[in-house]
Amino acid sequence: MLRIISVLALTLGLFTASVSAVADTVKLAENAPDSYTVVKGDTLWDISGKFLKHPWLWPQVWRLNREQIKDPHWIYPGQTIYLDRSGPYLTTTPPGASGDTVKLKPQVRVEDISPIPSVPLHRIEPFLTRPLFVSEKDLAGSATIVASDDARLLNGPGDTIFGRDVTAGVRDWQIYRRAQPVKDPVTNELLGYEAAYLGTARVMQEGAPATLQVTSVQHEVNAGDRMLPAAKADIMSFVPHAPSGNVDARIVKVHDGIQYTGKYSVVTISAGRAAGVEPGHVLAVYRNRGDAKYDMDGKKETIKLPDERYGLIFVFRVFDRVAYALVMESGGPVKVADSVRQP
């Protein structure tokens, strides 16, 4: 049986600071429906996009209390979302209905009650848990595979390996190999290293070296590979909001192509925790139009053309110098070196 959560009035001023810093304001989408019934596969961004011109502003119009805003997975497949145009507001209670609870008809049965995430989780799941970006500090603190049982060159599930600097009390480890350095495309500054995820291992016996068993592999594992404690999956309950401070970064890598990508692809940006970037930040992507040469009326000059805003990205994992973000809206290919700023 589907449990309908009571819907309370939106706390006034909850997002005032974020809203005042952005140009976008809440506007209804053209031909916005009066209601919509949620289906499996929907996201909060998708649902809000059916009603709002700028769907990332959904926290301002959902009639939810502060605690539910922190964890917005209170919407389930089978629920009907109503548009109250007086706000506008989005609510699970029909406009004008009394009480906070929506009663379902006896014949309605919803079997899939998986909560609705903010963005498509399957697009970002590998980037939530795996150590895909490491700094020099991470490298220095990593455990190292120093040998394998029977001197195997390549190791797979069930094989025994031996690790140095394996932290006592940590049972599960992720195995990675340092890959290519990641640099700022404009300044060429080294931001860190992208790590190639290899698999997982579990400590069987602590010691120096510790004895581990390989539990899964994506690629072959051998001596010299590094290990970090297995990360816990982040709960995807981030509320989209604009940064409170200035962000001026670049796209440094795309993960579905060589130089450019599109909607629902993951990109790496050249700003992270040190620059005030946090999970849930929504940033706009700008294309550099370059310069124009003017040679008329006896004048010769170079004119810098204004950058073109063409998309939005949603930050979901942050490191010290970089962050991973999902492309949510794009009016063209997202390219390496494109600018990232406040929305």
Q: What is the CATH number of the domain that holds 274?
A: 2.40.10.410
- Tell me whether the omega of the peptide bond preceding residue 209 falls within 30 degrees of 0, making it cis: yes
- Residue 197 forms part of a structural domain: yes
Average pLDDT for 311-328: 92
**Domain closes at, from 195, 229, 263:** 229
Main-chain phi, psi angles of 63, to 5 degrees:
-80, 75
Q: Please write down the HEC assignment for all residues of 75-128.
A: CCCCCEEEEECCCCEEECCCCCCCCCCCCCCCCCCCCCCCCCCCCCHHHHHHHH
**Spatial contact of 284 and 269, defined as CB atoms under 8 Å apart:** no
**Which of 54, 82, 117 is a domain's end point?**
117
What residue has token string 């009907």?
A: 80
Same domain (yes/no): 225, 253: no
Tokens encoding 239: 């509320």
Question: Can you tell me the distance from the alpha carbon of 232 to that of 264, in angstroms, rounded to the nearest whole number?
Answer: 23
- Partner residues linked to 89 by β-bridges: 84
Same domain, 1 and 108: yes
Q: Chain-centre distance of CA 333, in angstroms?
A: 19
pLDDT band at 60, cuts 50/70/90?
confident
Neighbours of 180 (CB within 10 A): 10
243, 21 contact by CB (below 8 A): yes
**Domain shared by 103 and 178, yes or no:** no
Say yes or no: 50 and 135 in one domain: no
d(CA 212, CA 76): 41
Indicate whether 32 belongs to any domain. yes
303 and 277 together in one domain: yes
Task: Judge if 183 and 294 occupy the same domain.
Answer: no
Residue 293 in any domain: the answer is: yes
Neighbour tally for 263: CB within 10 Å: 14
Return the pLDDT at 106. 41
Let me know how long the chain is.
Answer: 343
Which pLDDT score is estimated for 138?
A: 80
Amino acid occupying residue 72? P
Portion of the chain with pLDDT greater than 90, in percent:
31
Question: Nearest-CA neighbor of 340 among 236, 270, 258?
Answer: 270
- Residue 239 belongs to some domain of the structure: no
pLDDT band at 237 (very low <50, low <70, confident <90, very high): low
Tokens of 129: 């848990």
Report how far residue 122's alpha carbon sits from residue 120's, in angstroms, rounded to the nearest whole number. 6
95 and 3 belong to one structural domain: yes
* 222 touches 153 (CB < 8 A): yes
Tell me, yes or no, whether 289 lies in a domain.
yes
Confidence check: pLDDT of 288 > 70: yes
**Cβ distance 95 to 82 under 8 Å?**
yes
Q: Which is more confident, 109 or 90?
A: 90
- Mean pLDDT is lowest, of 11-20, 34-43, 204-213, 242-251, for 11-20
Per the structure block, which two tokens stand in for 308? 């073109």
| pLDDT over 90 (residue 235) | no
Report the candidate in 26, 24, 112 with the shortest Cα–Cα distance to residue 62. Answer: 26
- ω into 72 cis (within 30 of 0): no
**pLDDT averaged over the chain?**
79
Q: What is the pLDDT of residues 152-172, one digit of tens each?
A: 778 889 999 999 999 999 999
Residue 123 in domain:
no
Residue 73 and residue 160 in one domain: no
135 and 107 within one domain: no
Question: How many CB atoms neighbour CB 278 within 10 A?
Answer: 15
Range of the domain at 290: 249-341
Residue 334 lies in a domain: yes
135 and 220 in a single domain? The answer is: yes
- The domain tally of the chain equals 3
Q: Is residue 126 part of a domain?
A: no
Looking at the fold, whether 253 and 328 belong to one and the same domain comes out as yes
Using DSSP's 3-state secondary structure scheme, residue 274 falls into: helix
Which tokens sit at 84? 């109250």
- In terms of average pLDDT, the best of 162-176, 232-246, 250-264 is 162-176
| Distant-in-sequence, close-in-space partners of 323: CB < 8 Å, separation ≥ 6 | 268, 269, 271, 272, 273, 277, 315, 317
Q: What is the pLDDT, as a whole number, of residue 90?
A: 81
pTM of the predicted model, to two decimals?
A: 0.73
Q: What is the pLDDT of residues 104-150, one digit of tens each?
A: 444 444 444 566 667 777 788 778 777 778 887 888 889 999 999 87
Contact in structure between 75 and 47 (CB atoms under 8 Å): yes
Q: Can you name the residues that pair with 268 across neighbouring β-strands?
A: 253, 324
In a shared domain, residues 33 and 77: yes
